């Protein structure tokens, strides 16, 4: 599967989102990762569909929306209208994961299911035939700049194996603590979509994205 770099705008300049998102396109990002937090599912607040809608006019890059929100099914239509291309929802955040993923697909977006560090792959087995992507959290959600949890790679390997055994074709995304070292570990385990917030926005964005891409091209 194609490797993709997904810078998270959680680490962008909140006062200059439009500028920073536009810049990601020329800097070589493959998608834009947008962290939506509601202050309930996680202890942090960010922004909603209004901001996504405003950013939509700035770039044609794929918008990968990560919902850290309770009952995310309530917001599917709003984010579809705002121009989200994909919606990732946590299995821990709803009692209706299958229906919620179907709702996302019916709204014309790619559907993705997310598991927290404490949640096993078993919890999402029944929805794997339905999803375009699985997001394996490599930190506990809520904040950028945390340390990658290497034990999560067992889950990435397990998902890679299930995908082969069941002839499925979902992508595998990792999110949290991805840098020029951990990206190699995650790739080796089978991930192909790499979210990076602090690593990309700390310093020169072009150089940092280039560094991540170089590491992906290295033979393991």
Q: Which does 178 bind (CB under 5 to 8 A by kind): ligand 5RP, Fe ion, none?
A: ligand 5RP
Rounded to an integer, what distance in angstroms lies between the CA atom of residue 115 and that of residue 135?
Answer: 6
* Contact criterion met (CB below 8 Å) for 189 and 157: yes
Minimum Å gap between C-beta 93 and Fe ion is: 13
Minimum Å gap between C-beta 195 and ligand 5RP is: 5
Give me the residue label for tokens 């603590």: 177
Q: Say whether 175 is catalytic.
A: yes
Is residue 83 marked as binding? no
Contact positions vs Fe ion (CB under 5 A): 35, 66, 175
Q: Say whether 78 is catalytic.
A: no
Is residue 44 helix, strand or coil?
Answer: coil
Rounded to an integer, what distance in angstroms lies between the CA atom of residue 85 and that of residue 97?
Answer: 19
Residue 46 or 94 having the CB closest to Fe ion: 46
Residue 167 or 178 having the CB closest to ligand 5RP: 178
Both tokens of 39, joined, read 């202050």
Q: Which residues lie below 8 Å from residue 149, measured CB to CB, with a gap of 6+?
A: 117, 138, 139, 176, 177
Is residue 142 marked as binding? yes
Contact positions vs ligand 5RP (CB under 6 A): 8, 10-11, 33, 35, 66, 68, 139, 141-146, 175-178, 195-199
Q: Which does 115 bind (CB under 5 to 8 A by kind): Fe ion, ligand 5RP, none?
A: none
Residue 23 or 162 having the CB closest to ligand 5RP: 23
Residue of 201, 110, 186 lying closest to 154 (CA atoms): 186
CA angle 81, 48, 8 (to 5 degrees): 100
Is residue 176 marked as binding? yes
Minimum Å gap between C-beta 165 and ligand 5RP is: 29
How far lies 4's CA from each of 81, 98, 137, 187, in Å?
A: 25, 26, 16, 11
Is residue 23 marked as binding? no
Residue 16 or 126 having the CB closest to ligand 5RP: 16
Rounded to an integer, what distance in angstroms lies between the CA atom of residue 133 and that of residue 130?
Answer: 9
Task: Give the residue numbers of the binding site for a divalent metal cation.
Answer: 33, 35, 66, 175
Task: Give the residue numbers of the binding site for substrate.
Answer: 8, 66, 142-145, 175-177, 197-198
Catalytic residue IDs: 35, 175
């Amino acid at each position: 599967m194609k490797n993709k770099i997904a810078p998270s705008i959680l680490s962008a300049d909140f006062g200059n989102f439009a500028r920073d998102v536009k810049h990601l396109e020329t800097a070589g990002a493959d998608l834009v990762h947008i962290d939506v937090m509601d202050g309930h599912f996680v202890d942090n607040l960010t922004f909603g569909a209004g901001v996504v809608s405003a950013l939509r006019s700035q770039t044609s890059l794929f918008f990968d929306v990560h919902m850290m929100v309770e009952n995310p099914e309530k917001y599917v239509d709003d984010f579809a209208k705002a121009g989200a291309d994909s919606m990732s929802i946590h299995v821990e955040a709803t009692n209706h994961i299958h229906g919620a993923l179907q709702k996302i697909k019916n709204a014309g977006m790619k559907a993705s299911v997310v598991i927290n560090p404490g949640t096993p792959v078993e919890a999402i087995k029944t929805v794997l035939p339905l999803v375009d992507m699985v997001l394996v959290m490599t930190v506990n959600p809520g904040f950028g700049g945390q340390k990658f949890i290497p034990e999560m790679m067992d889950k990435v390997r397990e998902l890679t194996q299930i995908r082969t055994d069941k002839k499925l074709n979902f992508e595998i995304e990792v999110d949290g603590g991805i840098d020029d070292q951990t990206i190699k570990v995650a790739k080796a385990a089978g991930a192909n979509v790499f979210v990076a917030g602090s690593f990309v926005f700390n310093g020169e964005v072009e150089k940092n994205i280039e560094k991540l891409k170089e590491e992906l091209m290295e033979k393991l």
